[in-house]
Amino acid sequence: MEIIRDLNELSNWRQAQAKAGRNVAFVPTMGNLHNGHLNLVKAAQSRVDQPAVLVSIFVNPMQFNDVNDLARYPRTEAEDIAQLTQLRVDAVFLPSETDLTPETDAFTVRVDPGELAAHWEGAARPGHFTGMATIVTKLFHLAQPQVAVFGEKDFQQLQIVRRLVRDLNMPIEIVGVPTTRAEDGLALSSRNRFLDEAQRLTAPLLHATLVDTAQQLRLGSPLNAVLENARTRLTSAGFKLDYFALCRADTLDPLLSAESGILLAAARLGAIRLLDNQPVVME
Ligand code: AMP
């Protein structure tokens, strides 16, 4: 596996793939890799065109709106490289902060994802999606992939990236991969390691509640009552809810009655914020 740390090396690697006639499949991450990330890599590797797989690891300061969250974000470069080597990834890109986010004065252009960032994570974390879209755009230009792979766990992010490539005419296919979960249903996340023992036992209730809510909606229960029950159940168990809502999967606008869509949830246990979602498919 090639370990690429600067922009020139990345450009050389990219040109070598083009010369060899290989497509590039790209998996952007913030590192501290777990099985959720590794399943994105496997999805990239299992493409029929057998692309060269490039994983990036970059804790993007522009998408953190909380300095403490950024400071304590787990950085485990050696372990990450070992896991990617074992998976036979072709290359890992570890850009420096100064290469991607030079001092703000020298860097004034931002990519604004517009309406799709108005609700949910966008409302709870001002600037988050602009920071994400700006850095993903830069990474796409640098890596020039034919395919880029993202997790459905961050559903709003995935939809924003789909719109980003569509609206800005980037010739990149965006692939979404289903959420990888622990056995008890908790969506894997780099932040789970901060849950204490009691919180870790409570955490799977978020997924369980999403699944139950989707089921009740399918069976015909009215939306508001079902959502209210779900919120009460989670709040009683100690969650502080940022949102728990049914919305349209394409626009992410909230739905006012039970229809096919996606349930999106963000909830905190102590200082740890958990994110999850569940599709609702009505007959
Ligand atoms: P992150 O390192 O958290 O920025 O995530 C990098 C990529 O991995 C994003 O596309 C995430 O949606 C995806 N991802 C994170 N956790 C999971 C998971 N449990 N299952 C599937 N994809 C995930």
Say how many CA atoms lie within 13 Å of 172 toward its Cβ.
Answer: 28
CA–CA dist 261, 252 (Å, integer): 9
Tens-place pLDDT, residues 147-171: 999 999 999 999 999 999 999 999 9
> Which whole number is the average pLDDT over 124-138?
95
Of 140, 153, 164, 276, the one to substitute when testing ligand 1's pocket (max ligand atoms within 8 A of C-beta) is 153
Across 74-102, average pLDDT: 95
Residue-level pLDDT at 104 = 61
179 lines ligand 1 (CB under 6 A): yes
Residues with catalytic annotation?
Answer: 37
pLDDT per residue as tens digits for the range 183-223: 999 999 999 999 999 999 999 999 999 999 999 999 999 99
Instruction: Note the pLDDT of residue 269.
Output: 98
Q: Name the helix (H) or strand (E) containing 29.
A: strand 24-29
CA dihedral 15, 18, 19, 20 (to 10 degrees): 120
Q: Is 209 exposed, middle or buried (0-12, 13-18, 19+ CB in 10 A)?
A: buried
Cβ neighbour number for residue 260 with a 10 Å cutoff: 15
Nearest CA to ligand 1 atom 5: 29
State which H helix or E strand residue 245 sits in: strand 240-247
Q: Confirm whether pTM is higher than 0.75.
A: yes
**Whose structure tokens read 């990219």?**
14
CA dist 266 → 24, 194, 206, 207, 210 (Å): 33, 16, 9, 11, 11
- pLDDT reported for residue 65: 85
